[in-house]
Structures are given as structure tokens and as C-alpha cells.
């Protein structure tokens, strides 16, 4: 997974972080899991990643708690990763 996430092209990245899987194909999530999210953050330059749609569906294995713990383990702060709660509003400015 590589894309142009350079500073001049992206200020913020919004990505579904559910780790959703299809039964029988658990090793290939259909949405990014926590490990893939950390890879995205490492490749994102100065961009801020906003992780959304977690704890919502029964086939999604990446939870807010799991993603937050992974970020803490890797010393990734809120300046790089936001994990909003259900209904939480995030106001973005330029």
C-alpha cells in the first residue's frame, strides 16, 4: 500500500480502520488493520490520520482500544493519529 501522501498533497488522511475480514480469509483484511494503519502513518509525512468506523460491525477486528494501544506502543501521538468516539465532531482548519 503506497500512495502519494506527501505534505503538499495531503494535510489529513481519513481512513476506515476496522480490520474487517471475510470468514475464511482472515489473513487478508478488506479494510486496514492496526499494523497497516501504523504503516500508513509512517508513510504520511506531516499528515494527520483520522481513524474512523471502528467498533461498529461484527466482522471488524480493529477496535479503538487496540489501535490506541498500538499507537501508544509506537509512541505515535494525537498530532499524527486521531481516533474519534462515536458522534464526536472533529473540526479541521487549513
More confident residue, 25 or 53: 53
| Cβ-Cβ contacts under 8 Å for 8 (sequence gap 6 or more) | none
DSSP SS3 for 50: strand
d(CA 4, CA 35): 19
pLDDT per position as a tens digit, 60-85? 677 899 899 999 999 999 999 999 99
pLDDT at 9 over 50: no
Whether pLDDT at 52 is above 70: yes
Residue 6, pLDDT > 50, answer no
d(CA 25, CA 71): 25
At residue 51, does pLDDT exceed 80? Answer: yes
Give the pLDDT of residue 7.
47
Task: Tell me if residue 60 falls in helix, strand or coil.
Answer: strand
Average pLDDT of the chain, as a whole number: 75
Please, are residues 16 and 52 in contact by the beta-carbon 8 Å criterion? yes
Do 30 and 16 contact (CB within 8 A), yes or no?
no
Amino acid at each position: 500500500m503506497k500512495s502519494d501522501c506527501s505534505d503538499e498533497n495531503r494535510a489529513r488522511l481519513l481512513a476506515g480502520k476496522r480490520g474487517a475480514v471475510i470468514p475464511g480469509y482472515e489473513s487478508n483484511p478488506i479494510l486496514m488493520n492496526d499494523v497497516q494503519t501504523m504503516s500508513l502513518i509512517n508513510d504520511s509525512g506531516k499528515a494527520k490520520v483520522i481513524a474512523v468506523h471502528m467498533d461498529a460491525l461484527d466482522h471488524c477486528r480493529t477496535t479503538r482500544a487496540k489501535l490506541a494501544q498500538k499507537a501508544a506502543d509506537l509512541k505515535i501521538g494525537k498530532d499524527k493519529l486521531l481516533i474519534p468516539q462515536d458522534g464526536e465532531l472533529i473540526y479541521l482548519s487549513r
